[in-house]
Each structure stands twice: as structure tokens, then as C-alpha cells.
Amino acid sequence: MKCSAYRRKVLVFFHHSLHALLISKFAGYLVVNLNMRALLFLAGDIETNPGPQTETCLKFFYWNLNSICARESVKIPLMEVYNSVHHFDIMVLSATMLDKSVKNEDIFIQGFNREIFLSDHPSNTKTGGVCVYFREGLPIKRRDDLEMLQEAVVAEINFLRKKILFVAIYRTPSQNNKQFETVMDKLQIMCGEFQGERPYSIIVTGDFNCWSSQWWGGY
């Protein structure tokens, strides 16, 4: 079989690579040293420039993390690493436990916009609260005109030419029955307002601190 000069060089390369691999295995090590150009050349039918992959879904992350700043803010680098793998559009955190003394740069998460949608506990004490991070370039804006609850963030997203309302809510577990009913009444009014916006979709996430024996079989 005739081979071009370049193909002969490629085959020689693989011969030496295989030889080195066998020697390395004999020595107790596994060394993989493959040239990607050579693999493409031998395959012959692989497109070298397939083009960008377009995301067709909104990816978001939610964590009821019980304080962002606890333990010297060790949870922030954990979220940065997790986001570097999954590339979320939105990251929602509840039970953030922030007050006005905490600045945005203190809780900035690499990979997201420096603007953060915050809704802390109305008492300005480090309890409860919710916040929303969003990636750079995401067409999003806060809709505080639709926020009828104290610890809530409502945002409008234009994703793939579709209007999406994204809602993050935290409800403190120490509320009595009457306060809980008030929260539910306001949430129902909010949902009515959302429908008036005629969105493509409404996403509600967060921690309502609710419990029912019907959900968990009595536990």
C-alpha cells in the first residue's frame, strides 16, 4: 500500500508512541501520549470545526445554604467550582443571612455578573434572606414592582425570545399560622400579577419552610 510522506510520518509516530506506551506499562506506569492532529488525519471524516453549541435551555442552581459568609465564606469557592463544570445561567441562594453591612464584592461568585439581586430579612439582621446571581450577558432585569413578599426576588428573563418570570422566595419558619396565611395570600396575588404579564413560563423556587404529613408519609 502506497503512503504519502506525511502519512508515513504519522504511522511512524504511532509506532513509536505505542512502543513507548508498552515500555511504560512494563515499568509500572501508563503513559498516554497521542497526537490529536494525527487522530483526525487517520479518521478522515471528522469535521475540524463543528461550530459553537447553542444552549436551548435555561440552567439554574438552587441551594438553601444557611449563610453565605459562614466559615470565612468557604461556600463561595465551592459554588465557583461547581459552576465551572455546569455553567449555570442563574444561581439562587436562600437563607443567605446577610445584612446591609455585607457588600456585593464580599459575596461575588466568579462567573456571574457583579450585580446581585438581594432581598435580605426586613429587620436587617443576619437571618433568612434570598439572593439571585446571573451570568454575564443574560438578558435579565429585576421586577421589584411584582415583589409583594418581604424576602423575595422577581426577575424577568428574555430567553430565546421568550419572556420568563423567575421567582425566588424565602419564608422564615418562625412565623405563626396567621403570618403564614398572609404569605400565601400575597403569593396568590403575585401569581395573578404574573399571569397578567403573559409570560411563556413562570419559575418559582426557594424555601417556604412548609411541612405536611401528606408529603412525607407522616415523618
* Cα 166 to Cα 131: distance, rounded to the nearest angstrom: 12
Q: What is the set of domains in the chain, with CATH numbers?
A: 5-43 (no CATH), 60-207 (3.60.10.10)
pTM: 0.72
Closest CA to 61 of 90, 81, 85: 90
How does pLDDT run across 104-156, given as a tens digit for each residue? Answer: 999 999 999 999 999 999 999 999 999 999 999 999 999 999 999 999 999 99
For the chain, the straight-line distance linking the first and the last C-alpha, in angstroms and rounded, comes to: 74
Decide if pLDDT at 216 tops 80: no
* Cα 116 to Cα 105: distance, rounded to the nearest angstrom: 10
Decide if pLDDT at 34 tops 50: no
Number of neighbours of residue 88 by Cβ within 10 angstroms: 20
Residues whose CB is less than 8 angstroms from the CB of residue 47 and which lie 6 or more positions away in sequence, other chains included: none
